[in-house]
Chain A
Amino acid sequence: MSETKVDISGLAQRRLALLGNPNCGKTALFNRLTGSQQKVANYAGVTVELKRGLMKTATGRSVTVIDLPGTYSLNPSSQDETVACAMVLGQSLREKAPDLTAVVIDATRLRRGLRLVAALKRLGVPMVVLVNMMDRVRSQGREFDVARLQAALGVPVIEATGISTHGTDALRQLLDQNGLWQQARPDIATVRPDTGTARTDDAQAQTWLQASALDQPMGDHEWSRRLDGWLLQPVTGVLVLLVLLFLIFQAVFAWAAWPMGLIEGATGWVSASVDALLPAGLLKSLLIDGVIAGLGGVVIFLPQILILFFFILVMEESGYLPRAALLLDRLMGSLGLSGRAFIPLLSSFACAIPGIMAARTISDRRTKWVTVFIAPLMTCSARLPVYTLLIGAFIPAKTVYGMSLPGLVLFGLYVMGIVSAIAVAWVLKLWRGAGEPVQLMMELPDYHLPRIKDLAIGLWQRASIFLRNVGGIILSLTVILWFLSTFPQAPVGFTGSPIEYSFAGRIGQTLAGFFAPIGFNWQIVVALIPGLAAREVMVAALGTVYALSQTGDEVGAALGPLIAQDWTLATGLSLLIWFVFAPQCLATLAVVRKEMGGWAMPVGMAVFLFGLAYAASWVTYRLALNLGGF
């Protein structure tokens, strides 16, 4: 009989909070401690919900780790900072206070980090200090006596770096000291942060720095200054940004060709295999025309999505993103929008929803309203499969002055999104009047070379989210659409393709009249409906509808060539423009309703965007017809 030791002292789960300035590498530490894969970049301060994970100390005891939003001080000035501060001080109603707080400070910005430490010390919050980014200090051969700093602060200090586990290992060992966990927490009632404390905390920080012989500037910021000389200069900065974006879109088409060919081949092979294995019938049709045609149509765009996001990730990880936001802010600032609202636009997780939620930090109602209203126009990575499908089908793969035409068009579409957002914001400003200008106050962290590992993790996350969507909601909606497109089954002798007899076909044909002036045929109309759930679904839906429309024997024909044959160029362009303005997915509308309260705004937005899309498509279609005689 073996005896198992039961550790009863660890039964009440210990809670460690991670607090620190923005951009101090806190989230990367969190990932390393808990083994999770949280996204590292957090510029707009969108995360108001707290991230939690589980870590093991050196002896294997479990500790709950809570990653708090980055905050500069305990005097909160935005919603996420309020959450962080309240939680640490034990004032949060939603979260129990942590037993211990790990304050993460950037070794190259000691004074600022120590101000936060000073505030916490003043309030009596039990803590340990992690000095992060030590590699950047050591690489310059600077002296950093951690023990001395620890003696000055009177709390445990650990050095850490993003590129090794040395710091997190030391933390795991440190957390086994029971004494740390038994410190008294501050008395909630008596604690009230106030704004006069910034100077006191700074004085304390400077005292500590002098006591530890650390009051010389750490870290080399010279390169960043030099780069900014070019990258933020009004003219060269904007030029660089435009060229960068332009090159990215070129790469999206140039580099994706080979992997897309592979995926297409694989899809065709699967299709043919199923075709050979199964007898003709409903199941076969569901699998080939529904699942494979639908999903295959979407999955094929994964390479392009990943290429685009690779570059955007590089921009995020290198520190360039806030610079891009600043350049855009100069353009948009006069409209009362904050440059920080652009960061979701430029983010690898481009989706209107973070942009809408980032508007929580805006206190002025009118400005917040405008920001939310135009967010969908600027940002939606789900459009990318639709764009690339249509561009691939209708834009010849020529080079114009050495630039790939498809890449040029894609670039143009993104620019059109931004320009339309600016135009709408401007009109709204004229109509509703300008709100109060939004705070910018955006830090520009040092540039640094992104690590391959971080890029790989980011891409992997993106790919898995995409594939999860595909295997989940897109697959389900495709199956449902297949049903609607197959039943009721056409009687024998029915002229025309069987799908026209089905529910979906009839709905499409009924609505087609309304969309005829903008060049949409009934298949497009049918596909638009599930596209409301998620834009990528539109591509899958088209795949299914066209697969079912095939009266011939080809199996697994790719969607692109099919629509290129069936539609006119004018229709293709019209649909392309439709998607620049089209009403956003239901998810976005739901978030708008939640954030702004009430249905008026989401419904108003949907109607407005629908009208705008229709008008733009109409103009495009008419122009294309008249100019080209297509």
Chain B
Amino acid sequence: MNYDLIAVLALGAMAVAFVVRHYVRVSKGKAPVCGNCNNCACDD
């Protein structure tokens, strides 16, 4: 088994999942849009 490839693919999948989840949350207004300030564009 190519553990290397598996490890790398797992990390890659996590990265993709994070990015997708982040942008979905942003479009729903649940996360700050730019993350550069903490008091705008967030409905929390």
Contact = CB atoms under 8 A, between A and B. Distances in A.
- Is chain B in direct contact with chain A in the complex (CB below 8 A)? yes
Interface of A: 38-39, 42, 46-47, 49, 51, 281-283, 286, 349-351, 353-354, 357, 381-382, 461, 465, 468-469, 472-473, 475-477, 479-480, 483, 534, 585, 587-588, 590-591
Given A282-B4, A283-B7, A49 B43 contact: yes
Contact of A353 (B22, B27, B37): B37
A465 B36 CA distance: 7
B36 A283 contact: no
26 contacts: A38-B39, A46-B39, A46-B40, A49-B39, A281-B4, A282-B4, A283-B3, A349-B36, A349-B37, A351-B36, A353-B41, A354-B40, A469-B36, A472-B18, A472-B35, A473-B19, A476-B15, A476-B16, A476-B19, A476-B22, A479-B12, A480-B12, A480-B16, A480-B19, A590-B26, A590-B27
Contacts, number: 91
Nearest to A281: B4
Contacts of B3: 283
Interface size class of B (residues with CB under 8 A): 20 to 34
Interface string B10-44: 01101110110010001100000111111111110
A461 B40 CA distance: 15
B37 A472 contact: no
B5 interface: yes
A469 B35 contact: yes
B19 A353 contact: no
What 3 pairs across the A-B complex have the smallest Cβ distances? A479-B15, A349-B37, A351-B36
A349 B7 CA distance: 37
B22 A51 contact: no
A74 B23 CA distance: 38
B19 A477 contact: yes
Nearest to A536: B36
Contact of B42 (A49, A350, A468, A477): A49
Q: Which of B34, B35, B39 has the most CB of A within 10 A?
A: B34
Given A51-B39, A283-B8, A472-B18, 18 more contacts: A39-B38, A49-B42, A49-B43, A282-B7, A283-B7, A286-B11, A465-B36, A465-B37, A465-B38, A475-B15, A476-B15, A476-B16, A476-B18, A477-B19, A480-B12, A480-B16, A534-B35, A587-B33
Contacts of A477: 15, 19
B35 to A, nearest CB: 5
A587 B33 CA distance: 6
Contacts of B5: 282
B8 A286 contact: yes
Contacts of A46: 39-40
A39 B4 contact: no
Contacts of A479: 11-12, 14-15
A488 to B, nearest CB: 13
A585 B34 contact: yes
A357 B37 CA distance: 12
A469 B37 CA distance: 11
A351 B33 CA distance: 11
Contacts of A480: 12, 15-16, 19
Contacts of A588: 34
Contacts of A51: 39
A334 to B, nearest CB: 29
